[in-house]
Amino acid sequence: MAGYDDRDGKIWMDGKLVEWRDANVHILTHAMHYASSVFEGERCYSGKIFKSTEHSERLKFSANCLDFEIPYTVDEINAAKMETLKANGLTDAYVRPVAWRGAGEDMGVAAERNPVRMAIAVWSWGNYYGDAKTQGAKLDIAKWKRPDPATIPHEAKAAGLYMICTMSKHAAEAKGCSDAMMFDYRGYVAEATGANIFFVKDGEVHTPKADCFLNGITRRTVIGMLEEKGVKVHERRIEANELEGFEQCWLTGTAAEVTPVGQIGDYNFEVGQMTQDIASDYEKLVRA
């Protein structure tokens, strides 16, 4: 597979489709220097983007959290995503909208006079964790922690918030792991580097309270599915010493979908029936 900068196809950029290799920005783009960028990760199944409107709404919300306004409505963003899929001949794909402060009159921390740019790229993408989707992912425990929400706009899906996630995932992969689990600034279990986390004990589900990290769309979807099945879901602060007592574990996210976890550090989990059922149910839902 060619690098992501060297492919055939079209990318939607600032209201029009351009050749994939021509979708470039200037080196003095504000987002490159000061992380003024937000994005979404979405999946299209059989020609339909799952929860497309919720993702477009969150993209605009994230931009507002970073003090800029995307110059397109939710409906226009939705239509642009479908236009991009059609232009690339894809019906099953990953969809990546991104918006950022571009190059302009300002080059410093302030960037009020710089234009807001937006692009949408789509590509074919299989299982985010490869065969872990069936066998259970192996997770490292990250040394970096999710920060205090008083220090970051944690409700935004903002590029800058993923810096410690990238470093944590690289460290995990160097150890032969698929990903890393992160604690928060207080020492409670938080999430993986790009996915939310769930645990099972005695037929009930426990998941960290999303008070300092992104409350994922897939996370909320899965909680709703569990509650509809009559499964008790506890959204709460989970201490590190509780990991030993959990029986099952899985990750959720647009890219991860529902991926079982077999190991976190020295703690092992079974790919049990509830994990298998919720993964299967989610797969049916997104293709309904």
Q: Which residues are catalytic?
A: 157
Q: What burial letters (b/e) apply to 194-224, b meaning 16+ CB within 10 Å? A: bbbbbbbeeeebbbbbbbbbbebbbbebbbe
Residue 119: partners with Cβ closer than 8 Å, 6 or more residues away: 11, 12, 13, 14, 23, 97, 98, 99
Residues in a beta bridge with 181: 141, 192
8 Å CB contact between 31 and 100: yes
DSSP code, position 240: G
Helices 52-65 and 74-87, axial angle in degrees (round to 10): 120
Pairing outcome for strands 257-264 and 233-236: unpaired
Identify each DSSP E strand in the chain by its residue range: 10-13, 16-19, 37-39, 42-45, 48-49, 93-101, 116-123, 137-141, 179-183, 189-192, 196-201, 204-208, 233-236, 248-253, 257-264, 267-268
Within a 10 A sphere around the Cβ of 87, how many other Cβ atoms? 14
- Collapsing DSSP states into helix, strand and coil, what is residue 287? coil
N- to C-terminal Cα separation, the chain: 30
Pairing outcome for strands 204-208 and 233-236: parallel
Residues in a beta bridge with 196: 252
